[in-house]
Structure formats: C-alpha cells, structure tokens
Copies of this chain bind each other. A is one copy, B any other.
Amino acid sequence: MDTQVKYLNIAQDLTDKIKHDLYPTGTLLPSEADLTKLYGTSRATIRKALTELTNNGLIQKIKGKGSVVLNTARFTFPISGITTFSELNESQQMHATTKVLTLAEGTLPQDIIDQTQVKDPRVTFVQRLRTINEEPIVVDEDYILKSVVPNIPEKVAEHSLYRYFEETLGLEIAYATKTITVEPVSDKMCHYLGLGANNNLAVVVRSLTYLNDTTFFQYTVSRHRPDRFKFVDFARRHHHGQ
C-alpha cells in the first residue's frame, strides 16, 4: 500500500497536515520526542522525515525551540528540483497542449558528446511546442539516447516522456544539471513562440539528465518566451566556513 518506508510516510503525513492547516504557518510542530510517540518510531526516523520537510522548504528547525512551519502558501510552485511540463500542468490547473513538431532519429550535438563522453551518440530527437491557454510558452527539444530508450511512440511524445520513462520502462531518473541563460533565437523559433521582430531573446534552459546508475540519457534544450518564464527556487545557505 504505502511506500513501505516509514520516514517517507511520516514526511508525507506531516506535509499533508501542513498543507491542510492542521499545523498552521508560524506554529511549532510537535517536538521530535512527541512525534516518536505519535508515530511509534525511533527519533532517527522522525528526524529523517523532518529533514525531508526542511529540504522542501516546509519547516525551519530552531535549536532549543522546535520546528517552525513556514509560509508555504506562496510556493504552490515546483520549488526547484526536476519537474516536467506535464507534471506542472497537472499540479496546477492549466489549459495546456503539446504539439509535436518533430520526431526523428539523430545524433547528440557534438559538444554534449564531448561533455558526457557518451559512447553511442544515437538519439531520438523530439521537438515539441507547449501552449497554455492557446498561448505558445516554450519549445522543448529532447535528445534521448537510443541505447537507453530504443524507441519513442508518437503518442508518448504528445503526452509525458517522463511518465513513459518511469512508469512504462521503469527507468530511475536521479539527477540533472541545468543552466539557464538568455539568448537570441532563430526566426523560426521566434515564430513558434510568437515573439515580435524587435525582440528575439528567449530564456534557454539546458538540462543533462542522468539515471540512478549515473548513466547519462537525455539532453534537453527548452526555449521559453521571456515574458512567460518564471523560475522559483528555494535555497538554503550552507555555512561550512571558509
């Protein structure tokens, strides 16, 4: 039934209770000692659950006091991490569409081959235009290694690549490196994104995505309409001195 992992269940339960205002913003969660009694676990397990909430920006722990519930209402949003357009679309309620512009075979761009040292550069290339409320928002270009995903049905490209990777193929996506820059784009891209002639700048997000076993498998270039782009981040400061 549940995730079989206590600390994740506890984290989920606490998260739900915060979202439903059972633990309101600004109040303290029950102490770790109380939580161990409430959930019938050891303190280490409770602490692992609380670490999850901390990483997700839901609480701030204060030594000697307790765990303060943060104002999370403002971030109904992704909070960094790896989240995809389809997932975003479902968590928010948007009239979103995906139009497949290109679905073809190809090879990885040379600079990415160099960077990743990949042996077999054959990829499936997917180019998709995303719209929200009839308005063009972003053009995604995905290069997916054929050595990992031999084949991508058109139907999948129209919906969620990640759902296909994770649920159908059982791939375990672990991490990604992203860069965000602002760059001029081609006339064709301007046309897709509905950009005027005097403004050919788009926000370009490039991602290299890796599986649990550290194999690289996907390179993505997303070009966003600058006036519709918003990136929300929650960051913690690290104080390991010097």
Contact = CB atoms under 8 A, between A and B. Distances in A.
Interface of A: 3, 8, 11-12, 44, 57, 60, 62, 68, 70, 74-75, 80-82, 115, 166, 172-183, 198-199, 201, 203, 210, 212-214, 226-227, 229-241
Given A80-B80, A177-B234, A201-B226, 20 more contacts: A3-B240, A3-B241, A8-B240, A11-B240, A44-B44, A81-B236, A81-B238, A174-B237, A176-B234, A176-B235, A177-B232, A177-B235, A179-B233, A180-B231, A181-B229, A182-B203, A182-B226, A182-B227, A198-B198, A199-B199
Nearest to A55: B55
B182 A236 contact: no
Q: Classify the interface of chain A: helix, strand, loop or mixed.
A: mixed
A185 B208 CA distance: 32
Contacts of A175: 57, 60, 234-237
